[in-house]
Structure 1
Amino acid sequence: MVRDWLVGLGVAVACLVASWGLLVLLARRLPPGVLRDLAAFIPDCLTTVRRLRADERVPRRAKVAVVLAGLWVASPIDLIPEFLPVIGPLDDIVVVALALRYAGRQVPREVLLAAWPGEPRLLLRLLGPAHGRAAAPTR
């Protein structure tokens, strides 16, 4: 009984990994543009999470936020089921976007841009305008 369960679970995991591999291969064949940027968004976010987690310039709070976002993306449990076309990955994108915006307020932009493997304009658009700290006026 338990053995059958484990075999079924193994087959399900293998099918899931194979489907992800197929999606990655198909996404690489997309022409440059918005669709390709969207297809690369989640993998780029996961790479950024991994890089920021290892960077000592990133404060602990920002690390916790981006690691939680990475776990959310990797989790098979979603608010919106992944099999729904177009809107399936929406909850993952929103969670990652919020975590990166939070980290963007605590981490220098240069660190975030260095960790981002994708198109920099996409990350800059996600982060919004830079909020530089104004220097105190000198008398």
Structure 2
Amino acid sequence: MGMLDKLGAWARRVKRDGLTLWFAGRHPRTPWHAKALGLFVVAYALSPIDLIPDFIPVLGYVDDVLLLPGLIWLAIRLLPADVLAECRVQADDWMMTKGAKPRSRVGAFLVVCVWLALTAGAWFWVRARL
């Protein structure tokens, strides 16, 4: 198995686990802390807008390559084993039948709110310095 095959398999697992978190967020036996983190991660992952835009050299891909997989890994670790197994089956079924990931308008809204808050904070900070 070559390096590209390993990277492709890793990317498919990350995609499947992101979708697994989407199903786990709706599962009644998911603990509240795992549900909160999982829903945040899913909203961000499914958002069409990135926190760090991809057109920014190098930094634009940090969230796609490091931040998002790290948060998915953490949220998956918080799920009970039986819930994780059940939600992974649902995610695999979704990927086989639908193929495309769902979109999240809530995630896009949250990312826009973060950008607005950062912009407002920077504006107030600069204004206080003048």
Question: For the superposition of Structure 1 and Structure 2, which TM-score range results when normalised by the shorter chain?
Answer: 0.3 to 0.5
Q: TM-score, normalised by structure 1?
A: 0.45
Higher relative contact order (CA 8 A, sep 6+): 2
Q: TM-score, normalised by structure 2?
A: 0.48
Higher radius of gyration, 1 or 2: 1
